[in-house]
Amino acid sequence: MKRPAPTRRWHLRAATIAATGLLAALAPISVVGAARADNGGDPPPKGANNWACRSATHPTPVVLVHGTTANQNQNWATLSPALTDAGYCVYTFTYGVLPGLPGIGGLGPFAASVKRLAQFADTVRSRTGADKLDFVGHSQGAAVQMAYLRDYEGAKHARRVINFAGVVSGPPAGALGGLLGLAPGAVGTVCPACATLGDPATYRIVNYPNVQYVNIASNTDEVVQPPSVSFMKPAPNVRNVLVQSYCPGMMVGHDAMSKNPTVRRIIMNGLDPATAQPVPCGPNDPF
């Protein structure tokens, strides 16, 4: 399959980085960049981090783990309120923020980001009294939560793990630094996480039988290709889902997957298979 061309958003990022340098380039990475200074640059999305939340219908708290260059608000502006409205208790945080770049996460050293998730998961469990948690990770967030299960014995406290547009079983075919418009020698400085995500040694997958996994990929993801790197080896507790298996003609890109109604329904069905609803096929959303 021919790899989809990068979207206009990624072209804009690359051109900006090349033209104006690191600080000026990364600040406006997305349309919410100008608003990131509010509330310290890191406000949670609507519905998230209500520490008093207790749900009779969905008693397991859900932790959302964002992707590269995102933050908790930008990545989960759609999914967090949708889950909250459905009766879930949702918790979000931002990891991997480099000095001088407030509100732009997922850039810092990968190991530190995994540790940050471990600390946040402990906080959620402590403050809610829950022993088990569900995790939903987008893009780099998928790799971070998979490493947390392995390196911090997180699998003991995980019930369901949903990865989408994620790098799970190996690095994508294209260099992540190249997608950001970075010269090879600059990747480790500008985006330490990108350098780690490009290393096959990062993906030492462990399938924990007590955890239920759902891995979601799109043929038209312009960042994570081939889609197989988003999947785990088949197993009774593993479900690998291609968006186009539901909607053959759908075009949904990397960033758009976090806001797309088709993907959102697949995620929600994965969190609660007993109440699964039909997956809708909406309009194309390549960006």
Convert the pLDDT of each residue in 267-276 to its tens digit: 999 999 999 9
DSSP annotation of 92: E
| Count of all residues that appear for the chain in the document | 287
Q: Enumerate the β-bridge partners of residue 39.
A: none
**Would you say 122 and 129 are in contact if contact means Cβ atoms under 8 Å apart?**
no
CATH pick for 8-28+60-275 out of 3.40.50.720, 3.30.565.10, 3.40.50.1820, 3.30.70.870 = 3.40.50.1820
Q: Is the peptide bond before 102 cis (omega within 30 degrees of 0)?
A: no
Least confident of 10-14, 102-106, 126-130, 132-136: 10-14
Please tell me the predicted confidence (pLDDT) of residue 180.
54
- Three-state SS at 223: coil
Displacement of CA 8 from its chain's centroid (Å): 20
What's the pLDDT band for 103 if we cut at 50, 70, 90?
confident
Q: Which has more pLDDT, 200 or 162? A: 162
Predicted TM-score of the model (pTM): 0.86
281 Cβ neighbours under 8 A, 6+ residues apart? 246, 247, 250, 262
**Would you say 203 and 150 are in contact if contact means Cβ atoms under 8 Å apart?**
no
What the block records as the tokens of 197 is: 């995500």
Please tell me the predicted confidence (pLDDT) of residue 3.
43
pLDDT above 70 covers a percentage of the chain that reads 80
Mean pLDDT of 229-248: 97
pLDDT of residue 287 exceeding 90? no
Measured CA to CA, the distance from residue 263 to residue 272 in angstroms comes to 14
148 Cβ neighbours under 8 A, 6+ residues apart? 114, 117, 118, 121, 135, 154
Q: Which has more pLDDT, 65 or 286? A: 65
pLDDT of residue 117 exceeding 80? yes
**Would you say 132 and 60 are in contact if contact means Cβ atoms under 8 Å apart?**
yes
Convert the pLDDT of each residue in 22-75 to its tens digit: 433 333 333 233 233 333 468 999 999 999 999 999 999 999 999 999 999 999
| Locus of tokens 């997608």 | 179
